[in-house]
């Protein structure tokens, strides 16, 4: 039997009204045209105010207008942002053909690092020592590979380690390479203290104009 709206909330039994276990929500008194959907959980943290979609939309329009302003477009580093987005996209979806190219480049990098390491050690000659403290009769070498960076032996070792890590697809080797960089960078601090003490202003000038590991970078 179909119940009417008035009988949906109560039944009369033996002259008494018995409530039904049914929810009877009250009808909204606000006209549909004036209603606005506002989620109860969309308030801004700490503000205590309801999320205002219209205000956020206006802010978004203002930001887009600033980004697309023809008077300043291209002068605020947009090219760097584009490069960032492209690389992030490649990071998420790397092209299949890129892997073999990177593997080949990594092998070349490892071989190049080994060559730099060996030749830099050869250029030091009798000045070479595994200890950070310079030898008593050591001379300051600032030519050859040492004219491009102050510690080409360490630079070659790091480049070799990086190339080997990438070529072998080893995250473990990559983490060890990062640790090796930290060790060598810390060792250099002690080594250069001894070089300044031994060669004085001559080494200070050399250090000011020559990068530590990688020319033009670091």
Q: For 20-56, how does the pLDDT look when each residue is reduced to its tens digit (9 = 90+)?
A: 454 445 455 555 555 554 444 444 455 555 667 888 8
Distance (Å, whole) CA 165 – CA 173: 5
> Which residues make Cβ contacts (< 8 Å) with residue 111, sequence separation at least 6?
163
Q: Which residue has the higher pLDDT, 125 or 34?
A: 125
Span 190-202, average pLDDT: 92
Chain-centroid distance of CA 113 in Å reads 25
- Round the CA-based radius of gyration of the chain to a whole number and report it: 36
pLDDT at 10 over 50: no
Paired strand residues for 18? 11
The DSSP H or E segment spanning 58 is helix 53-67
Q: Which residue has the higher pLDDT, 173 or 97?
A: 173
b or e along 105-134 (b: 16 or more beta carbons within 10 Å of the residue's beta carbon)?
Answer: ebeebbeebbebbeebeebbeeeeeeeeeb
Determine the Cα–Cα distance for residues 108 and 102; give it in Å rounded to an integer.
10
Query: What is the predicted pLDDT for the residue at 169?
Result: 92
Q: Which two tokens stand for residue 48?
A: 């205590």
pLDDT at 29: 53
Of 11 and 183, more confident:
183
pLDDT band at 1 (very low <50, low <70, confident <90, very high): very low
pLDDT tens-digit profile of 50-86?
667 888 888 888 877 777 777 777 777 888 888 999 9
Confidence of residue 172 (pLDDT cuts 50, 70, 90): very high
211 CB-contact burial (10 Å; exposed 0-12 / middle 13-18 / buried 19+): middle
Query: What stretches of the chain adopt beta strand conformation (E)?
Result: 10-13, 16-19
Give the total residue count for the chain. 218
- The domains of the chain are located at 99-209
Structure tokens at 2: 């179909």
Q: What is the DSSP-derived secondary structure letter of residue 44? A: P
Tokens for 94, please give them: 């790397």
C-alpha separations of 146 from 87, 131, 141, 211, 216 in Å: 34, 18, 7, 10, 13
Strand-pairing partners, residue 17, are: 12
What's residue 31's pLDDT?
54
Cα first-last separation, the chain: 86
Query: What 3-state class would DSSP assign to 55?
Result: helix
Q: What is the dihedral of CA 201, 203, 204, 205, to 10 degrees?
A: 90
């Amino acid at each position: 039997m179909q119940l009417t709206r008035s009988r949906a909330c109560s039944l009369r039994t033996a002259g008494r009204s018995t409530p039904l276990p049914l929810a009877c929500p009250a009808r909204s008194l606000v006209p549909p045209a004036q209603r606005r959907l506002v989620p109860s959980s969309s308030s801004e943290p700490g503000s205590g105010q309801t999320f205002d979609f219209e205000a956020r939309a206006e802010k978004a329009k203002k930001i887009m207008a600033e980004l697309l302003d023809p008077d300043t477009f291209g002068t605020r580093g947009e090219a760097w942002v584009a490069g960032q987005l492209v690389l992030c996209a490649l990071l998420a979806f790397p092209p299949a053909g890129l892997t073999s190219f990177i593997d080949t480049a990594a092998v070349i990098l490892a071989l190049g690092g080994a060559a730099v390491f060996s030749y830099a050690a050869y250029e030091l000659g009798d000045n070479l020592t595994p200890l950070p403290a310079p030898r008593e009769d050591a001379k300051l070498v600032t030519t050859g590979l040492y004219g491009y960076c102050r510690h080409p032996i360490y630079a070659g070792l790091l480049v070799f380690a990086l190339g080997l890590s990438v070529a072998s697809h080893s995250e473990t080797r990559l983490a060890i390479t990062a640790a090796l960089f930290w060790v060598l960078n810390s060792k250099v601090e002690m080594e250069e203290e001894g070089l300044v003490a031994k060669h004085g202003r001559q080494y200070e000038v050399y250090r000011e104009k020559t990068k530590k590991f990688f020319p033009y970078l670091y």
